[in-house]
Structure 1
Amino acid sequence: MLRLLMVGAGGIGGYYAAKLLDAGHQVVLTARGAHLQAIKENGLKVHYHDRELVHQPEVLDHQQLVASHKPDDFDVIVIALKATATASVLNELGVWLRRGRSPVLSLQNGVDNEPLLAEAVGADRVIGGLAVRIGGHIVSPGVIEAEGVAEIVMGVWPRTNGGSDGLILTVDMLAATFNDAAIPTQISDNIRYELWRKLVINNGVNPLSALTGLDTRSLTHHPEFSKIVYGAMAETVAASKADGVNLTRKDLDEMFELISSFNAIKTSMLVDKEKGRPLELDGIAGAVLRRCEHLGIKAPYTATMNALLLQNA
């Protein structure tokens, strides 16, 4: 049985927590506000396609977590927060995390979360990860709707070569455990490369969906918007060179074909905009723009969408 802490019980974290609870693992969740209270009173409810998963896990806010648990109470600590929350949560939990040796797995958008975690807890404890082909959202306090294949890709950050034997074995164990829990999981020897490939998709569709109100399929099959999606994705490919990842035109075309073949998914940035929540703009468009500036290259598609969303924030 896996003992797991899921920091963030939103659409992504809540879904994976429910699948692991379904498989008999022990999962502690963190949440806040009405969502926290609803899970405490009525349990966590996840609607996934034609199934409803209902569990009554232990759920805590961060103060309660620090007071009642040690980091090494858990086999792995999963961060499933919006990228906008990573720095602030590390301010809250950084001292607590450093008291233990449990590995920390990031399941977040963007390419800047793992470096922050490595700085906070040490690179020898960081596992990079990404959730792919999943849409998940809180539809009401305590209730989550999720769709898609809901795969995970994970690996020693920034790549297996150079990682400790212990962390490599942990990644192997986690992948086997997740697969046994009906969470399709793959291991990457170069997780930074995979994170950048996902950022290519996210920067292509997330900002534009927030501006237009359209889902991924509508954007990628629109005669004009599809050009903007492709252009922003191309700018992300160019930006990857700042991190030494060096994505290619082949990566660009593969990612565009992949997102074009998806079912119609409402992006997380569009959902956040509709609900009046902060957008993951800095972790997606901002990450691209900072690296393009460093490289001395222009990113007009990304810069324009970023400016429009900031203007309307």
Structure 2
Amino acid sequence: MTNTFKVAVMGAGAVGCYFGGLLARAGHDVTLIARPGHVEAIRRDGLRMETRTFDERVRVAASADPAAVQGADVVLFCVKSTGTETAGDELRPFLGPDALVLCLQNGVDNAERLRTVLPPRQVAAAVVYVATEMAGPGHVKHHGRGELVIEPSDRSAAVAQALAAAGVPTEVSANVRGALWAKLIINCAYNAVSAIAQRPYGDNVASPGIPEVMADVVDECLAVARAEGVQLPGDMHEAVRRLVATMPTQSSSTAQDLARGKPTEIDHLNGLVVRRGAAHGIPTPANRVLWALVKLLELPHA
């Protein structure tokens, strides 16, 4: 690899457009693989990046075809957790033998699942801390944060250096599993509540009873994580309480999916905690209620 990378973003929604756009803005050769509506807008007008520090149209290649992965040094893998294996199968014929596939997804088991369909050594997990949304075709809006934590691999250090130079604070950590679970716990506390209420985090935590519900969710998650042998960084209750200050106006990705009539990732968030809790004999009633209500809201109206 050289200092300038050829990058493909598989599943370029809000997260992929944000990180891919920053890399393109820094001079890397980036192709966003996205839905046709986004591709058309990006090809015509560029990717509009509305962030906390700039609002620009970034020129970047875009395609709806997984074959656009061909020749990439780095693939930012940003598809929904529900489509991990399918998307991995789609890109496999076009993946170069030395490409690094970096999983920028919600949930804790996507890299493990992706390694069942791609060469395991080419896959590295990453933890994403960013609040973004697609505000329209080819228009990504950044609400806060933007850090990555990457699993070690032969190429992780070089990729982390390139990301940092592009304005993405990036750390390579041997305990990515712990970081993934820490993010999962935060998502379990915030995402379903935001989805059910269709309100941003700041409004939700100010509502009577919601902080206590979130604390119950975290307690259950911590019990399951302990049973799974996960080493969590720091005080998760405090981490959950602090998050709202950094992104009070953010609505969760689960809320955004429900608002657009799209399937959510709730089976890979609170649903995963429910399943793993059941496997260990640990009750998870708060997570179960949130999971079940989101599943109910996913059902089409008669």
Residue 81 (str. 1) matches residue 93 (str. 2): no
Q: State the alpha-carbon separation in 2 of the partners of residues 254 and 295 from structure 1.
A: 26
* Deviation at residue 122 of structure 1 after TM alignment: 3.0
- Measured in 2, the distance between the counterparts of 1:23 and 1:180 equals 8
- Structure 2 equivalent of residue 57 of structure 1: 60
Larger % of helix: which?
A: 1
Name the residue aligned to 1:108.
Answer: 105
What is the CA distance between 1:246 and its match in structure 2? 4.6
Does residue 258 of structure 1 match 2:256? no
State TM-score, norm by structure 1. 0.88
Between 122-131 and 109-118, the greater mean CA deviation after superposition: 122-131
Matched residues, percent identical?
Answer: 28
Structure 1, unaligned runs of 5 or more: 157-166
Equivalent pair of 1:219/1:229 in contact (CA under 8 Å): no
Superposition pairs for residues 141-290 of structure 1, below 5 Å?
141-156=137-152, 167-168=153-154, 170-247=155-232, 251-264=235-248, 265-290=250-275
CA contact (8 A) 1:138 1:145 kept: yes
The amino acid that maps onto 2:140 is: I
Find the counterpart in structure 1 of residue 122 from structure 2. 125
User: In the alignment, residue 258 of structure 1 is paired with which amino acid?
Assistant: R
Q: Shift in Å at residue 100 of structure 1?
A: 2.6
> Does 1:33 pair with 2:31?
no
Tell me the alpha carbon deviations over residues 215-235 of structure 1, each in whole angstroms, 9 at most, x when there is no partner. Answer: 222333433101111111222
Q: Does the residue aligned with 1:28 lie in a helix, a strand or coil?
A: strand
Question: Secondary structure in 1 aligned to 2:107?
Answer: coil
User: Once the 2 structures are TM-superposed, how far is the Cα of residue 50 of structure 1 from its aligned partner?
Assistant: 4.8
Q: State whether residues 216 and 262 of structure 1, in contact with CA within 8 Å, keep that contact through their aligned partners in structure 2.
A: no
How many corresponding residue pairs?
A: 294
Task: Supply the AA of the counterpart residue of 1:92.
Answer: E
What is the root-mean-square deviation in Å for CA atoms of aligned residues? 1.9
Q: What is the CA distance between 1:285 and its match in structure 2?
A: 1.4
SS in 2 for 1:223: coil
Report the alpha carbon displacement of residue 95 of structure 1 after superposing the two structures with TM: 4.1
Task: Report the Cα distance in structure 1 between the residues aligned to 2:92 and 2:24, rounded to whole angstroms.
Answer: 26
CA distance in 1 between partners of 2:92 and 2:229 (Å): 28
